[in-house]
Homo-oligomer: A and B are copies of this chain.
Amino acid sequence: MDLIRRREFVGGAVGTGVLLGAAPGVFAAQKLADIHAQIERGHDAAVVRLQDWIRQITIAAEDRGIEEGCGYMMQLAREAGFQHVERVPTAGHPSVFATLDAGAKRTLGVYFMYDVKQVDPAEWSSPPWEARLVDVPGAGKAIMGRGAVNQKGPQASFLSALHAIRAAGRKPPVNLVLIAESEEEIGSPNFADAVLAPQVRAALEKCVGIFMPEAAQSLDGTVQVSLGAKGVVELELVASGAKWGRGPSQDVHSSNRARLDSPAFHLVQALGTLIDAKGDPAIDGWWDDVRALSAAEERMLDVAATRMSEATAKKSMGVTHWARDADWRQALEDMAARPTVNIEGLVGGYTGEGGKTVLPHRAVAKLDLRLVPDMTRDSAVAKLRSHLANHGYGDIEVNVSGGYDPTTTPADAALIRTLVRVYEGEGIEPIFWPRRGGSWPGFVFTSEPLKLPAGHFGLGHGQRAHAPDEYYLIESSNPKIAGLDGAIRSFVNCLYALA
């Protein structure tokens, strides 16, 4: 999933973490001790719940294990107490819709994803589908595998919270509406189909907001509370001799370059027009809809810049200079407020070892575009197409594979204020963050017609989403971060706070 782990998007923070064991927080006073005891009792089952889920491979990008993953997600929901569980077809892969009626006053929406990112097993120190328990220096014992933190770990912990509540003989303090998609990693191209299906929409309309479980703690114990996320478009630009009407329509010997145009160079020249000399987007009209940060958002960044470590952020990415030689405050602002044009990948002609004297007839650039309010996915794609046409590259195919608008939730939404209070109850002062640099399809909840607040929450720790050796912490050896039981406890506490 495209949410950014903290290490990736704001770097290490100068923390205010607390020893969770020693500071049980405000909820001990609320007499949740019986549930907390069930969390400890259910620990081994919760570990197995996550391991087994990781072993159930679902990769939308590879059309792999979709139906199996869907059935597995439905089973997980049933086991956690959801009375109604339903497969929701879309134009692409199915979502899962489930409701848990606890007879409570309030209803909470919960967003899950059950697909994961692709892997190259050769890059992993522990096999990505074995979900082994490994030692992570500075953190503790963790489950390593694809999806461990993104997003099965936090989601499994949330489900384990429901198991613990039931094991204590209680009902959840809020009713729940779960919507789980299987295409998050390819840009959620059909998620709105599922969310706006009549029965799903009707259920979501009753919710006080949407909640997404996460593992929010950095190694130093700090936690961010994000009030939105950038939108994204993922696409391929494809230059080909056939569409261009110039150059070859099949790979030919490279000597022909003397008398034939090159689709690969045509692509290179087109790409060159998409950014300016400094690397900023230069697509015609790209900046027209960019809304400036509010004074309140600017203040959040001021605080974030003092609480987070620039050195740690740079070190974690192997970086010596920010773009445009920005200072730390500006680099944080760029993450929150600057739209981007990124090359994810370049593929053209001969890509193996050494060289091969061919003039390729086709070349592809994989791009992602990050959007800020008030940009939209549709207007961004339209601007890109129009830009290419206006600059002589109208023949280049723009194949959009996924994407969605930016999402924003007000800082004063009841959902957000409650989540913050739960953190504060654990002795954690979260860092407010105007907008994540990464993306998630929250817009389907926060935009018309639902207009729900949407927030992320969860103690616990994990890293390396989309990368090799992804992990989710089980037994913490670091007093500033919670392990599995602490994460589950935070979800229990959160549900009671929201009630």
Give A contacts to B, CB under 8 Å.
Answer: 2, 4, 8-9, 61-62, 117-118, 186-187, 230, 232, 234-236, 241-242, 245-262, 264-265, 267-269, 271-272, 275, 277, 279, 317-323, 326, 331-332, 334-335, 338-361, 363, 366, 368, 370, 401-402, 436-439, 465-467
The complex is assembled from copies of this chain, and their number is 2
Q: How far is the CA of A466 from the CA of B250 in the complex (A)?
A: 13
Contacts A255-B8, A255-B335 hold; do A368 and B357 have CB atoms under 8 A apart? Answer: yes
| Distance, CA A262 to CA B335, complexed state (A) | 15
Measured CB to CB, the nearest residue on chain B to A330 is: B259
Which of A230, A248, A345, A401 is packed against the most chain B CB atoms within 10 Å? A345
Complex Cα–Cα for A176 and B242 (A): 48
The minimal Cβ–Cβ distance linking A12 to chain B, given in whole angstroms, is 14
Would you give 8 A-B contacts (Cβ < 8 Å), ordered by A? A4-B253, A249-B317, A256-B335, A257-B341, A262-B342, A343-B349, A344-B350, A344-B359
Chain B residues closer than 8 Å to A245, beta-carbon distance: 320-321
Which secondary structure dominates where chain A touches chain B?
mixed
Whether the Cβ atoms of B253 and A438 lie closer than 8 Å is yes
Q: Is the CB of B265 within 8 A of A279?
A: yes
Chain B residues within 8 Å of A264, by CB: 343, 346
The 8 closest A-B pairs by CB, nearest first: A249-B318, A255-B437, A346-B348, A345-B350, A345-B349, A257-B342, A264-B343, A255-B438
Task: Give Cα A248 to B4, complex, Å.
Answer: 16
Apart from A265-B275, A343-B348, A355-B368: 6 A-B pairs, beta carbons within 8 A:
A117-B356, A255-B436, A255-B439, A257-B341, A257-B342, A344-B359
Minimum distance in angstroms from A17 CB to a CB of chain B: 23
- Which of these, B230, B252, B257, B353, contacts A340 with CB under 8 Å? B257
Flag if B248 contacts A317 (CB, 8 Å). Answer: yes
- A370 contact set on B, CB distance < 8 A: 254-255, 257-258
Chain B residues with CB under 8 A of A340:
254-255, 257-258
Q: In the bound complex, do residue A319 and residue B241 qualify as a contact, i.e. CB atoms below 8 Å apart?
A: yes
Give Cα distance in the complex from A418 to B62, angstroms: 61
In the assembled complex, the Cα of A256 lies from the Cα of B336 at a distance in Å of 10
**Given known A-B contacts A186-B354, A249-B319, A352-B118, A437 and B346 have beta carbons under 8 A apart:** no
Contacts of A247 in B (CB 8 A): 319
Q: Point out the residues of chain B lying under 8 angstroms from A187, CB to CB.
A: 355
Say yes or no: B360 contacts A437, CB within 8 Å. Answer: no
Across-interface contacts of A355 in B (CB, < 8 A): 61, 186-187, 234-236, 344-345, 366, 368, 401-402
CA distance A345 to B350 in the complex (A): 5
B349 touches A349 (CB 8 A): no
Take A261-B321, A317-B252 as given contacts and tell me if A363 and B343 are in contact as well, using a CB distance cutoff of 8 Å.
yes
- Measured CB to CB, the nearest residue on chain B to A241 is B318
Residues of B within 8 A of A331 (CB): 259
CB pair B248–A357 under 8 Å, yes or no, is no
Contact of A272 among B61, B241, B272 (CB under 8 A): B272
CA distance A65 to B29 in the complex (A): 75
**Contact at A252–B353, with CB atoms within 8 Å?**
no
Provide the bound-state CA to CA distance between A299 and B28, in Å: 97
CB pair B358–A323 under 8 Å, yes or no, is: no
- Contact call A318/B361, Cβ cutoff below 8 A: yes
Min CB gap A64→B, angstroms: 11
**Docked CA distance A465–B437 (Å):** 49
CA distance A118 to B482 in the complex (A): 53
Give the Cβ gap from A235 to chain B, nearest Cβ, in Å.
8
A328, closest chain B residue (CB)? B259
- Please, how many angstroms separate the alpha-carbon atoms of A226 and B331 in the complex? 60
Contact A360 B347 (CB under 8 A): no
Complex Cα distance, B496 from A26, in Å, reads: 103
Within the complex, the shortest CB–CB distance from A497 to chain B, in Å, comes to 30
Are B61 and A353 within 8 A (Cβ)? yes
Which residue of chain B is the closest to A120 with respect to CB atoms?
A: B352
In the complex the two chains form, what is the Cα distance from A301 to B268 in whole Å? Answer: 33
A317 → chain B closest CB, angstroms: 5
> How far, in whole Å, are A272 and B274 apart by their CA atoms in the complex?
12
Query: CA A348 – CA B252 in complex, angstroms?
Result: 22
